[in-house]
Structure 1
Amino acid sequence: MHKEWAAFKASKKKAAEDEARAAQLRAKLEADQAKFENDRKTEEWSVAGWKRKAEAEAALLSEERKNWKKICEKDNAKKMGLRIVINNLKAEVEKLKKQDAEIEKLKKEKTDAEAARDEARSHRERSEQREVHTCATHALRDKEIEEFIALLSEQEQLKAEVESIKKNLELEWAKKAETSRRLSETEEKLENSETA
């Protein structure tokens, strides 16, 4: 870009120099025309000499015009080249702006995703804490259930023992009743025998 700009400046400077040279040539031409007017008035000036001089000046002016046109065409071509380069650079700048916008959008999406990830982690940690607490609660309940089962088992055993004791007691009462009945019978027999 800087080289092209320097070349553009150089061509602009050359064009300015060419313009200055053309201005000098015009001034010279005007001076020569003034001199011609002065010389024409003198007798030494001849028509043929004037004609040759005018043709030489016209040829020189024509050559200068050709050179000037070539310089202008070169300058225009360089300017067109620079304009194309500038347009290409503008397109690149626009492309870079779009890329910057996309990068900003991606950064925002990344920030949002990181925030969502952090929220998900926090939620997972809270869930894990709740799960640990629930597991601890379940463990305590399982322990309590085991204790209740042990108590129920003990109660069943006590119930069985009570039933067994009841049966034994009933048997003892039955034996006692039988013994009492025999004793009564024996006492009756004894009384009957005494009476007899």
Structure 2
Amino acid sequence: MRFLENLFEGTLWQGRLFIVLAVIFGMIGAIVLFIVASIDIYNVAKFTYQSIVSHHHPEHFHEKIVGDIIGAVDLYLIAVVMLLFSFGLYELFISKIDIAERSESSKILEIHNLDQLKDKLAKVIIMVLMVSFFKRVINMNYQGPLEMLYFASSILALAVALYFMHKDADKH
């Protein structure tokens, strides 16, 4: 009976290694998003250069540039979420990353438990949502005072959310 228990527990323990799939594909997803966002920034730079050189500024020139850059920032933030997710899963379920332990650089990727991973992911996801919100409202046309009041209220709600996010971070 002890043999079966040891066999089962060993198999169960080794089963955690399937998390490597999530780590690998999470990293691939992050790399893809970093590349796509960088290509988007390159295209914005090329569009801006061509518009300036040709002295032809399309309608809503500034809004297009800002919107495209904000979209790229959004992709970069989502890539960071994927990176944090992959790093955190590896550290929590597979092994500590020795090179990170010895590193003098930022400890942002240091994750000791699942709650820390969730907190870090939640903060980056909130930033992604804020950037997405900003991207959408930058191109809106406001028809009346009620829409402006909604816009101001949403900015206030975002400011309060940021305040509480950072207030909690000061305790640590």
TM-score, normalized by length of structure 2? 0.34
If the length of structure 1 is used for normalisation, what is the TM-score? 0.30
Higher helix share: 1
Larger Cα Rg: Structure 1 or Structure 2?
1
